[in-house]
């Protein structure tokens, strides 16, 4: 994360004696990226964070991946996956994946187990409902429209709250997710042209201080999954400081960049990950050249697949294609895509788009997972031809 936070009790100097009321030392834990060469945070535990009393292999819910063949645009209706509810980690239904990123959807109605993903960061987008994110860093509350970034190897628990169904789009990276580098100074400050800044970002603001014993934690790692039993609860942290922690940002705080003529998707970029980007399409004033055509032109991104998750409003370029709340469109590289027939003409003279969508562009092809087949609208690819 691009700025420093200090929460709870920490000593004045790092790596010096910091004692508990009974005289014993607090146990330091440095959590850092790229060895000791990038962002990190220093946590102070009441008990040793290394103390485990059991470990066994764990088999998570399985899913299969198949190539997008025949190559064609796809439309997935995520709300067709609704069941009786699930937990927001093990209940994820994987839709699309490659070796850089996995994209899943879940309707959650119960807390997740304690979970650590040692393979990469997670970006969660909350379509509806509310969620409490618990971690050694404290509590982070999220509501509809929030992105939540959970750094690699952060032990956390996701707890649905409130009365409305909690719907999550999960983007799981094989690496780190953060703001685009072009938005940041060499020292990590958001620059003036950035569509959001530090004031828009929320982080945990108080320790949790849980003191349970014999606590189970599920860990995804590079060789599979393991279930650990820790001697003491990992949320026994009295204080921490640094630049690496879970944080939230609302899509409603993204300030759109507009112009006289149609602006390309990079102006909507919100985060970057390894070989993919995440963009936010928000309500905005659109093109104000007198001859402007506000909807996108036909385009062929020769290097990337484009996935768009529709999460509110009316998406002008897709009217008439069956797109609805919770829809996901996949437009792969190797295929030219664009607005539905008649959308360009209808958009002339429109001065405002009331749309809300999250886009993931990947630079390697996305495979289809089991849940994608279960909720696909098989007629979507032919909607440009206006044939039955």
Give one DSSP letter per residue of 57-75, joined into a string.
Answer: E--PPP--EE---S---EE
> Do 114 and 157 meet the contact criterion of CB atoms below 8 Å apart?
yes
Catalytic annotation, pick one of 262, 268, 289, 300: 262
Q: Which single residue is written with the structure tokens 């996949």? A: 330
> Do 42 and 241 meet the contact criterion of CB atoms below 8 Å apart?
yes
Q: What phi-psi label fits residue 258: left (phi over 0), alpha (psi between -120 and 50 degrees) or beta?
A: beta
Comparing C-alpha atoms, which of 273, 249, 308, 305 is closest to residue 119? 273
305 Cβ neighbours under 8 A, 6+ residues apart: 330, 331, 332, 333, 361, 362, 364, 365, 366
DSSP reduced 3-state for 236: coil
Is residue 268 among the annotated active site residues?
no
Helix, strand, coil percentages, rounded to 5, for the chain: 10, 40, 50
The reply, when asked if residue 252 is annotated as ligand binding, is no
Helix locations, 122-215, DSSP H? none
Instruction: Calculate the alpha carbon distances from 46 to 7, 10, 191, 334 in Å.
Output: 15, 12, 39, 55
Rounded Cα distance between 230 and 338, Å, is 52
The reply, when asked if residue 243 is annotated as ligand binding, is no
**How would you classify the pairing of strands 213-221 and 115-117?**
parallel
Instruction: Calculate the alpha carbon distances from 273 to 127, 267, 276, 365 in Å.
Output: 21, 16, 5, 15
Q: Which sign does the torsion angle of CA 194, 197, 201, 203 carry?
A: positive
The reply, when asked if residue 305 is annotated as ligand binding, is yes
Query: Which positions make up the binding site?
Result: 299, 305, 315, 337
Query: Which positions make up the binding site for homogentisate?
Result: 315
Query: Which positions make up the binding site for Fe cation?
Result: 299, 305, 337
Q: Hey, which residues are catalytic here?
A: 262
């Amino acid at each position: 994360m691009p700025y420093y936070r200090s929460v709870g009790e920490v000593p004045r100097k790092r790596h010096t004696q910091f004692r508990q009321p009974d005289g014993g030392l607090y146990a330091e834990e440095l959590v850092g990226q790229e060895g000791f060469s990038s962002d990190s945070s220093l946590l102070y535990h009441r008990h040793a964070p290394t103390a485990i009393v059991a470990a066994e292999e764990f088999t998570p819910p399985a899913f299969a991946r198949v190539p997008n063949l025949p190559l064609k645009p796809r439309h997935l209706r995520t709300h067709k996956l609704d069941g009786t509810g699930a937990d927001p980690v093990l209940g994820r239904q994987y839709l699309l994946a490659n070796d850089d990123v996995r994209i899943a959807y879940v309707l959650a109605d119960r807390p997740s187990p304690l979970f650590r993903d040692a393979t990469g960061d997670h970006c969660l987008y909350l379509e509806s409902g509310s969620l409490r994110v618990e971690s050694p860093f404290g509590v982070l509350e999220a509501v509809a429209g929030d992105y939540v970034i959970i750094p690699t190897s952060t032990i956390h628990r996701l707890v649905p709250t409130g009365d409305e169904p909690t719907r999550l789009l999960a983007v799981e990276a094989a690496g780190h997710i953060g703001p685009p580098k072009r938005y940041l100074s060499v020292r990590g400050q958001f620059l003036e042209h950035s569509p959001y800044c530090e004031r828009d970002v929320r982080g945990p603001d108080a320790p949790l201080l849980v003191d349970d014993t014999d606590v189970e934690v599920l860990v995804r790692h590079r060789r599979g999954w393991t279930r650990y039993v820790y001697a003491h609860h990992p949320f026994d942290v009295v204080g921490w400081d640094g630049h690496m922690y879970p944080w939230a940002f609302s899509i409603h705080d993204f300030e759109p960049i507009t112009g006289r003529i149609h602006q390309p998707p990079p102006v909507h970029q919100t985060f970057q990950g390894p070989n993919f980007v995440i963009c936010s399409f928000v309500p905005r004033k659109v093109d104000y050249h007198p001859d402007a055509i506000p909807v996108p032109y036909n385009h062929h991104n020769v290097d990337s697949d484009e996935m768009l998750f529709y999460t509110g409003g009316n998406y002008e370029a897709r009217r008439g294609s069956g797109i609805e709340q919770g829809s996901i469109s996949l437009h792969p590289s190797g295929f030219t895509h664009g607005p539905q027939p008649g959308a360009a003409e209808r958009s002339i003279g429109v001065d405002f788009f009331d749309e809300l969508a999250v886009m993931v562009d990947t630079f390697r092809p996305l495979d289809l997972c089991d849940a994608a087949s279960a909720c696909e609208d098989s007629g979507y690819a032919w909607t440009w031809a206006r044939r039955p």
